Amino acid sequence: MKDRFISEAEGLVNSRVIGYDQKVRRLAALAANALPYPALSPLCQEALEARVVCDMYEGNRPFTPRYVLPDYAKALRNGVKYLELEPPSNLDDALSFLTILYSQVPSVTTYPVYLGDLDALLEPYVPADLPDDELDAKLRRFWIQLDRLLPDAFTHANVGPADGRVIRSIWRVERSLRQVVPNLTLKVSPETPDDLIEDAVRTVFVTAKPHFVNHPMMVADHGTEYAAVSCYNSLKVRGGAHTLVRLNLKRAVDRHLGGVDAFCLESLPHWVELTSELGEARIRSLVEDAGFFESNFLATEGLIELDRFSMMFGIFGLAECVNELMVREGQPEARYGHDPRANAAAHQIVGRIAELIKDRRLPYCNGGGGFAYLHSQSGIDLDLDATAGTRIPIGDEPSMLEHIEVCAPIHQLFPAGISDIFHVEETVTRNPRAMVDVIRGALGAGMRDFTFNLDSNEFIRITGYLVRKSDLLGLDEHGARHSSDYLAATAEVNHTVTTRAIKRVIAAELSPQG
């Protein structure tokens, strides 16, 4: 153990491929992993080692919540004592204020996963007489800072659902810069103008961003103060998620003997309990042992509130789980995403998990009313045998309309986020309104998130985050500036992420981290 620690640390220190900044972060992770894991029951311990349940490799001893969503509006209003920041009075000061604050927002990657609802935050600071080109220049400078200071594709900004000068400027800046950071989500409500969605669609054509989320559905689950962060994680602002633990449904089914009903009745309660136990141990360690909420300035200054946190309960490998159960039911031809029997089984399984989660109280999870949030976890780079979340396996997706029809009904069961990726042909770039139609339809049909990519795009979506194809070339030799690129390289090798079935009108994604 000690020898391994030394050799890994030596490897990092002497690496010619990893940059200084990433060496520091990885050495810190190595140190946290040298500490003993929070106490687990032998059954939970075994399930974790066999990776039936998984802690996302967050580290042995949590000292920060995984996802922190500071109330940036409150910070701008009141200032931040810890950082000796007064409330800003103009746009330049506001941008500077936020940039400084971001540097102190923790997460398991060390980079902030939420940058705020930037259009709403910044709009009040934009003077009416500021010309568009000057606004663009300011935001462009800010955007470059974000990408260079926070080089992590999980760093995520939200915009919408209303139109405004800042959101329009953000689209222009995005298209001109073509950066990986920040990840972007547009909140879409029935009142969001078509023209604004179309502008966002044109931005996707260039940068594979933003995602489109169902604003009314999110508000119903989380209230008006919510955001989509990291990749497809929807949580309360001024709150967040302590941790993300996930259940590999493929491996759960491998340890089960019967069919669908028996799996729901006998196996799922067992695995949901072990996943919850793992989460609870990590939450107690963070809140009670590390005392994060007692000491961190975000908590002490009221920019986050423990009562708005919960835990994310992720599931993945639903496709393999269902397909295997259908074999056992004597219906091997019934495949998930294609056959009503398989799709019904999938609904039954997810419905059962949602029910079990609502039966398992967790400490310090008042954000979710005392329970975990269900999340369709979109994979990590090491997942080899299981499809991301509740997605249809890559390359096996049906036509776009059928794909939407299969996915939409389960989206409502995942308040903490779910994603299905659609890959569209490049011809749609001449008719962006066609994508507006599809997005409206998909959200209206009950999808929580709609994400599409162009098959020709320089950007590829791994499991929810973006990398540039050109950044993956030669990664082994010269390293990469964005820490997420390393995950992406593994995912690209481990998955057939670039072979998703191409739809005539629509998009796709690639493989890790939730």
Partner 1 sequence: MAELIEAPTTGLVTDVIEFSAVDGPGNRFVVFLQGCNFDCLACHNPYTIKACIDCGICIEACAAGALSLDAEAKMVWDQAACTGTDGCIAACPYDSTPKARPQAVASLLPQIRRAAPFISGVTVSGGEATQQSGFVRALFAAVKAEFVNLTCFVDSNGAAEPSVWQELDEVMDAAMIDLKCLDDEIHRRITGASNAQVLASIKALAARGKLYEVRLLLMVGVNDSDELLAATGRWLAAIDPKMRIKVIGYRAHGVRPSPVPLIEPDAAQRAHYAEVLAAEGQFDLVVI
Binding site for partner 1 (CB under 8 A): 399-401, 404-405, 424-425, 427-428, 430-431, 433-438, 440-442, 444-445, 503-506
As a whole number of angstroms, the distance between CA 232 and CA 441 comes to 20
Tell me how far, at minimum, the Cβ of 435 lies from partner 1, in Å.
7
Smaller CB separation from partner 1, 9 or 501: 501
Q: Which long-range contacts (CB under 8 A, 24 or more apart) does 271-275 make?
A: 271/47, 271/52, 271/53, 271/247, 272/247, 272/313, 272/353, 272/356, 272/357, 272/360, 273/360, 274/43, 274/44, 274/47, 274/52, 274/53, 275/53, 275/245, 275/246, 275/247, 275/313
Q: Using the CB atoms, write b or e for 80-113: b if 16+ within 10 Å.
A: beeeebeebeebeebbebbeebbeebbbbbbbbb
Tell me how far, at minimum, the Cβ of 110 lies from partner 1, in Å.
41
Question: Could you tell me if 159 and 210 are in contact, meaning their C-beta atoms sit under 8 angstroms apart?
Answer: yes
Question: Could you tell me if 442 and 405 are in contact, meaning their C-beta atoms sit under 8 angstroms apart?
Answer: no
Smaller CB separation from partner 1, 164 or 441: 441
Smaller CB separation from partner 1, 218 or 400: 400
Angle, alpha carbons 271-277-279 (nearest 5°) = 105
Tell me how far, at minimum, the Cβ of 428 lies from partner 1, in Å.
4
Tell me how far, at minimum, the Cβ of 188 lies from partner 1, in Å.
14
Beta strand 239-248 with 309-316: parallel, antiparallel or unpaired?
A: parallel
Smaller CB separation from partner 1, 16 or 430: 430
Helices (H), 15-131: 20-33, 42-49, 72-78, 91-102, 118-122
Helices (H), 161-193: 165-177
Tell me how far, at minimum, the Cβ of 391 lies from partner 1, in Å.
20
- Name the 3-class secondary structure at 340: helix
Smaller CB separation from partner 1, 8 or 405: 405
Residues of the chain by 3-state class (helix, strand, coil), percent to 5: 50, 15, 40
Smaller CB separation from partner 1, 266 or 402: 402
Of 161, 74, 177, nearest to 119 by C-alpha is 161
Tell me how far, at minimum, the Cβ of 185 lies from partner 1, in Å.
21
Smaller CB separation from partner 1, 8 or 437: 437
Number of H helices, E strands in the chain: 22, 15
Tell me how far, at minimum, the Cβ of 425 lies from partner 1, in Å.
8
From the CB of residue 330, how many other CB atoms can be counted at a distance below 10 Å? 8
Q: Is 215 left (phi over 0), alpha (psi -120 to 50) or beta?
A: alpha
Smaller CB separation from partner 1, 441 or 479: 441
335's CB contacts (< 8 A; 6+ apart) are 323, 326, 342, 396
Tell me how far, at minimum, the Cβ of 399 lies from partner 1, in Å.
6
Tell me how far, at minimum, the Cβ of 230 lies from partner 1, in Å.
29
From the CB of residue 21, how many other CB atoms can be counted at a distance below 10 Å? 12
Smaller CB separation from partner 1, 81 or 433: 433
Tell me how far, at minimum, the Cβ of 418 lies from partner 1, in Å.
19
Smaller CB separation from partner 1, 259 or 398: 398
Smaller CB separation from partner 1, 495 or 503: 503
Tell me how far, at minimum, the Cβ of 469 lies from partner 1, in Å.
23
Of 63, 372, 361, nearest to 233 by C-alpha is 372
